[in-house]
């Protein structure tokens, strides 16, 4: 193609773009449709349709065209083993979320208030995301297993007299969850604290409030939305997780995600697995609703405007 023809082609493209803009300007409903339809289509195909099929499958005795039944849900709510697993999952999720939020908030607060190397610390926080989830879990297996890195270090400094063998315990699951999801807590906390008006803190200190009272009355309430975002980002994936408890917790720390994976992959009881999945989905939605009620506007990470 000759370079002499390029200006003409560019002019034609510009004219076509201007005509298209004018066409849409005269048809606002079509413009809104073209903006909304593509993401709505993606949402329907990749989220709503699988969810509807999952709900349909959970009401069958087996794979279609099996007869309809509520037996899968009745089995879930009447058999103690599944109720205990749901309760254990809830307890582990709450414990891991609270610990992750506390540690993440402390790190973010230190970064904003005291650190001059914020970029370096943020890099260290997000660096674990650069490696595969499974690889990180196997690294923790080597650290926590009997006579592993943790035992060797504690024995060397004389803190313990015999190996602890933390692997395949409740504590190992909590450690794995905190390590995996800590960045998802630190980032929204850091954003929320960064938007905090320093003049309010200075005014509180000038009026005689100490550091603790200033934190409880100014910093914490004004970063409430960021805290709730962190809770949601950490708590929801933990509730449905199955790799971490499977690799670090063993059979004594079974969570509902492990049962779902077993029903689909090994037991091939897809109907019961679907019922479990729908139950987890309802619990997650409930967590989101509670988070919205407690945290207000998630999009305002800087806190309330009052």
- Within the chain, which residue ranges are assigned CATH 1.10.3720.10? 72-295
Average pLDDT, the chain: 84
pLDDT band at 3 (very low <50, low <70, confident <90, very high): low
Contact between 256 and 276 (Cβ < 8 Å): yes
CB atoms under 10 Å from CB of 221, counted, come to 13
The pLDDT of residue 62 is above 60: yes
Rounded distance, CA 195 to CA 188, Å?
11
**Superfamily covering domain 72-295:** MetI-like (1.10.3720.10)
Predicted confidence (pLDDT) per residue in 4-59, tens digit: 555 656 666 666 667 766 766 767 777 777 778 888 888 888 888 988 999 999 99
Rounded distance, CA 77 to CA 94, Å?
21
pLDDT band at 306 (very low <50, low <70, confident <90, very high): very low
């Amino acid at each position: 193609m000759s370079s002499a023809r390029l200006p003409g082609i560019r002019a034609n493209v510009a004219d076509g773009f201007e005509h298209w803009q004018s066409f849409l300007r005269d048809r606002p409903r079509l413009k809104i449709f073209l903006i909304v339809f593509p993401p709505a289509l993606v949402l329907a195909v990749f989220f709503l349709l699988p969810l509807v099929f999952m709900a349909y499958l959970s009401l069958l005795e087996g794979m279609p065209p099996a007869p309809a039944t509520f037996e899968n849900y009745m089995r879930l709510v009447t058999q103690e083993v599944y109720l205990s697993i749901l309760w254990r999952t809830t307890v582990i999720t709450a414990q891991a979320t609270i610990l992750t939020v506390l540690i993440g908030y402390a790190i973010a607060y230190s970064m904003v208030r005291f650190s001059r190397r914020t970029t370096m610390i943020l890099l260290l926080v997000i660096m674990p995301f650069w490696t595969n989830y499974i690889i990180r879990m196997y690294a923790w297996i080597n650290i926590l297993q009997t006579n592993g890195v943790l035992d060797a270090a504690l024995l060397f400094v004389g803190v313990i007299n015999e190996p602890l063998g933390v692997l395949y315990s409740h504590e190992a699951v909590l450690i794995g969850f905190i390590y995996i999801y800590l960045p998802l807590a630190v980032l929204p906390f850091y954003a929320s604290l960064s938007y905090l008006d320093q003049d309010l803190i200075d005014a509180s200190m000038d009026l005689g409030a100490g550091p603790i009272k200033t934190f409880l009355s100014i910093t914490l309430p004004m970063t409430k939305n960021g805290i709730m975002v962190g809770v949601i980002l950490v708590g929801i994936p933990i509730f449905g997780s199955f790799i971490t408890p499977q690799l670090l917790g063993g059979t004594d720390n079974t969570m509902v995600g492990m049962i779902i994976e077993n029903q689909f992959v090994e037991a091939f009881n897809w109907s019961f697995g679907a019922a479990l999945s729908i139950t987890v989905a309802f619990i997650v939605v409930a967590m989101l609703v509670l988070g919205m009620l407690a945290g207000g506007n998630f999009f305002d990470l800087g806190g309330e405007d009052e």
